[in-house]
Amino acid sequence: MTVTFHVLGPLEVRSAGRPIRISGRKPRLLLATLLLHANQPVAADQLVEVLWPERAPRSALANLRTYASSLRAALAAARAAGDTYGEAAMLRGLAQVALYRDRYEEAADGFTRSRRLFRELGDPRAEATSVCGLGAVSQFGGRHARALGHFKQALAMFLSAGDPHGEAFTRQAIGRACIKAGDLAQASESLGQAMRLAQELGDAHREGCVSLQMGTLHGAMSFHRHALEIFESLGDRHCGAYALQSLAGLQVDRGELAPASAGLERSLLVFRELGDRSGEASATQLLGELHRSAGRTGLALDYLNHASALRRELPA
């Protein structure tokens, strides 16, 4: 007995021929998007853009937790039907939602279980996507060496499967992890390969993400501005906010405090609207440091204290 997912036309989930009720338009959109990208990582901003194409509410990322109930219903049905692939896909989808909400332990558990099931099923592309998820969990937790190991393992799987999109994603992830680890030569090589692949594939979003990392690597505003232009052309406010934040860091280093402050305030507004608490905390911290360097001690303390409070709210 299996669970079937029909995504051409109205979304339908059936177990043993019987329909499983997935209530609400946005939960169905969330499930359909994860299913259509079953063998590649889906960024939080992509989900937000699909669910709220015009303007996302401040609670956007928090709402993903509510909509995840639709995935849990599908997961329960897959288990009841003995459908291992459906179970693995739903476990990974729930892990991705947990990752977006900074629930790292929950995310790691879901990615680990889904990886094991995909390996048993002999699907290396799907397994590699779960391994990428484990790499992201390690990276967000500050375990950069472990993250790099996961990403390199995933890259080998994508190369073996002949998946250029997966290869582009993991080469970018390796480059980012190498920057954190201080291996700048390897970072440059990996990001260069990721950029070439993104351009060959016509993947503008990936090109923007790689440009952002290359800007960090080389300390070059041109890369950050290119990334910002791409994200704005795609209507991706979330990634655009991270581009603004990175650009502001370089502007502060060059003493350009006014444009840096304006960019950070713009990014802070987006993070608040989308409910990205981690992004909000980092932007608030940078604003505090900026005001402190400008001699505005009282204002700096307000921002820095608020940043500390936001970080305390994040899961360990």
Task: Note the pLDDT of residue 10.
Answer: 43
Task: Note the pLDDT of residue 95.
Answer: 86
- Cβ(2)–Cβ(93) below 8 Å: no
Task: Note the pLDDT of residue 79.
Answer: 75
Task: Note the pLDDT of residue 75.
Answer: 72
- Cβ(239)–Cβ(209) below 8 Å: yes
CA angle 115, 35, 44 (to 5 degrees): 80
DSSP label at 103? Answer: -
Give the residue, 107 or 14, on which the prediction is more confident: 107
Question: pTM for the complete prediction?
Answer: 0.76
Give the residue, 12 or 119, on which the prediction is more confident: 119
Task: Note the pLDDT of residue 33.
Answer: 62
User: In Å, what is the CA distance from 109 to each residue of 87, 99, 114, 309?
Assistant: 14, 11, 9, 27
Task: Note the pLDDT of residue 286.
Answer: 94
Return contacts of 307-313, CB within 8 angstroms, 24+ apart.
307/281, 307/282, 310/277, 310/280, 310/281, 310/284, 311/281, 313/277
- Is 50 exceeded by the pLDDT of residue 2? no
